[in-house]
A and B are shown apart, each in its own frame.
Chain A
Amino acid sequence: MKHNDLDRVQRWMHAVITHPDGIVAGADADKARELLDAGAGNLESIVTRSTHLTAAERLAIYGNAYYSRLIDCTGEVFPVLKRTLGEEVFNGFVFGYLQNYPSTSYTLHHLGRNFVGYLSETRPEDAQWSDFLIDLARLEWEIYDVFDGPGLEEKESFEFESLLEIDPARWLNLRFKTAPCLRLLTTKYPVNNHYTLVRGTDEAIEIPFPGPEPENIAISRRDYVVRRYHLSLPQYVLLTELQKGEPLGIALESCADAAQNDPSINLEHDLTNWFSYWSSEQSFFENISGESESQFS
């Protein structure tokens, strides 16, 4: 036994306190025994006991804390999903997640980054509701990520008027640099609506899962507060193309295709309103450029 070998003791303790079935199972598992072959029956050969607590009870303080702290923390990243599922079910999902994706980062801000992927990987084939949960988790992760990521607050704001100053003959070649905090999401379920509903409703009231209904969402940030926008399909297509770096002309073609079957949209009229609104929100565009920088300098 190398109970005084720093590396072995650390790997052993890590294996024991992170074991999902607790300290006894952890100490008896091969992973721990390969490092220090004590087993649950001989824990006191490695960890001292106190007058009141056995070695196993002392280790369990770390073991219990490990899952409970990280589950709580993940719950702070996905508060609406947690409320939607109820604490017990949500915590069960996160418990599985942490076993598959333990934190490998110095920061807790990365803790939830694989959660959407994990939900997708473990999605039951036949369960429609799992698509709703995945959509909701995606929305909440983007909100979390946008909140502390790069934004436009310290930059000069983009004004709609600057667009009007440009010769209309050049508009189709314009490229928009979208805001670094702008995220465009398309979901199978109306999760943005659900998010609003849950946050505006008393904790005690249960809110049912919504039925499927595709939704397009923009998430961005202004004055350090995250904002959510419902988008029509043509708006979503237009912004997605612009975000990819396509010139306005190409983006408008795709947008017009998407608007074809929607009688409520009159592009000629609506486009001005859209760009005017997106500019005034100061959370969609950083700046614009033509094909060569010199055109608008």
Chain B
Amino acid sequence: MGRSRSTVNFLRIVMSTPLPRLGHPDLVFGLGLRTVHYTHILEEEPDIDWFEIISENYMDSQGRPRHVLNRIAERYPLVMHGVSLSIGSTDPLDHTYLKKLKKLAAEIKPHWVSDHLCWTGVAGKNTHDLLPMLLTEHSLNHVIERIRIVQDVLERRFVFENPSSYVGFTGSTLTEWEFLTRMAVEADCGLLLDVNNVYVSSRNHEFDPEEFIDAIPANRVVQIHLAGHTDCDTHLIDTHDHPVIDQVWDLYRKAVARCGPVSTLLEWDANIPPFPDLHAEVLKAKHQLRPESERVKEPGEDLAKTDSSSVPHPLHHNKVEVQ
């Protein structure tokens, strides 16, 4: 005998209402793993909840970066964050890249693997930038179809981040949050909500960032990014070289109120402060979410507020050690 209609309906509801964070754990507050901090982390074993790694920096590494990663993986929870999937490009998916991504994931066992809703190049060329999508029904279907392929190949749900953007297209017919929401639900993938990117894009494209936060499917948010940016008056640039500003903290609190506690990562990629200063910034984030937790040390007042060259989304590169 088949299942009763009510059981089918119940299953349908359960299936279409994902668990909070798609069932992923709340890893609490993490930091991006950067070359300049390797020695400190290995020697001091700082009390950081988890690290996010840039997948491309390790997928081919047979030298020190990979050696260090293996040691860190023994001690800390990890997540993988890529910059080269180019899910929105009209170029074919790079299956060599996917294979390497899958292999790295099998070896270091991250809690999840993410990249960005963007394209990085076309016609075989890579700009190594996170370029903004034309937001139409057609491009949405294009992206959904490709996410399904990626998830099939990797045999796991993928997670996509909203990037900062500086141009919009007259041909776009959807808002970014409509696009992300439909993409996440229809492709059944996770979201990495970068609240700084929401803020940067909201200023650049003159929309209400709260509308963005209110719209996204809360249970699909498995991770949040926090970062600093550069205010150029006429526009903002996502430089990851400053402390997080108050308005972004406000958005963060709003996001957490909607999504519940979510693994949160502080990104800092240019003018990287010494590890203890970054650690202090992480503790501040912890305090924002759980004020009753330990007394928070404010980050050093002397944090370098040096000139920024204002290049969006700084690059990730391994530093060579040579005698």
Using a CB–CB cutoff of 8 Å, the interface residues on chain A facing chain B are 3-7, 9-11, 13-14, 17-18, 44-48, 50-53, 55, 57-59, 61-62, 64-66, 68-70, 72-73, 76, 102-109, 111, 143-144, 147-151, 153, 221, 224-228
Contact = CB atoms under 8 A, between A and B. Distances in A.
Contact of A52 (B94, B123, B173, B234): B234
B128 A10 contact: no
Contacts of B171: 3-5, 9, 46
B125 to A, nearest CB: 5
Given A53-B234, A226-B321, A106 B315 contact: no
Nearest to A105: B126
Nearest to B141: A6
A3 B170 CA distance: 7
A199 B172 CA distance: 51
Given A6-B139, A104-B126, 4 more contacts: A3-B170, A6-B138, A48-B205, A147-B320
Interface stretch (B22-30, B61-69, B216-224): B61-69
Contacts of B249: none
A6 B134 CA distance: 6
5 contacts: A4-B138, A50-B235, A150-B62, A225-B64, A228-B323
B318 interface: yes
B175 to A, nearest CB: 13
B90 A72 contact: no
Contacts of B142: 6
Instruction: Please name the 6 residue pairs, one residue from A and one from B, whose CB atoms are nearest each other, closest first.
Output: A4-B171, A224-B64, A52-B234, A226-B322, A106-B84, A148-B63
Given A62-B166, A103-B125, A107-B56, A225 B131 contact: no
A62 to B, nearest CB: 6
B179 to A, nearest CB: 12
A227 B323 CA distance: 5
A105 B318 CA distance: 16
A84 B204 CA distance: 40
Of A68, A69, A104, the most chain B CB neighbours within 10 A belong to A69
Given A7-B90, A53-B235, A14 B169 contact: no
A48 B166 CA distance: 10
B128 A4 contact: no
Interface size class of B (residues with CB under 8 A): 35 or more
Contacts of B90: 6-7, 10-11
B205 A50 contact: yes
A225 B318 contact: no
Contacts of A148: 60-66, 318, 320
Contacts of B124: 104
A76 B90 CA distance: 31
Contact of B167 (A58, A68, A76, A153): A58
B10 interface: no
Contacts of B318: 109, 147-148
Interface in B80-111: 84, 89-90, 94, 96-97
A104 B323 contact: no
Contacts of B126: 102-106
B167 A52 contact: no
B168 A69 contact: no
B122 A47 contact: no
Contacts of A149: 62-63
B117 to A, nearest CB: 13
A127 to B, nearest CB: 28
B206 interface: yes
B317 A108 contact: yes
A72 B310 CA distance: 13
Contacts of B173: 4
B136 interface: yes
A48 B169 contact: yes
Instruction: Identify which of A6, A149, A226 gathers the most chain B CB atoms within 10 Å of its CB.
Output: A6
Interface string B163-188: 00011111111000000000000000
A76 B317 contact: yes
Contact of A11 (B60, B123, B138, B139): B123
A226 B125 contact: no
B122 A11 contact: yes
Interface in B279-323: 309, 311-312, 314-323
A201 to B, nearest CB: 16
Contacts of A44: 170
Contacts of B136: 4, 6
A102 B134 contact: no
Contacts of A107: 56, 59-60, 84
A52 B129 contact: no
B60 A147 contact: no
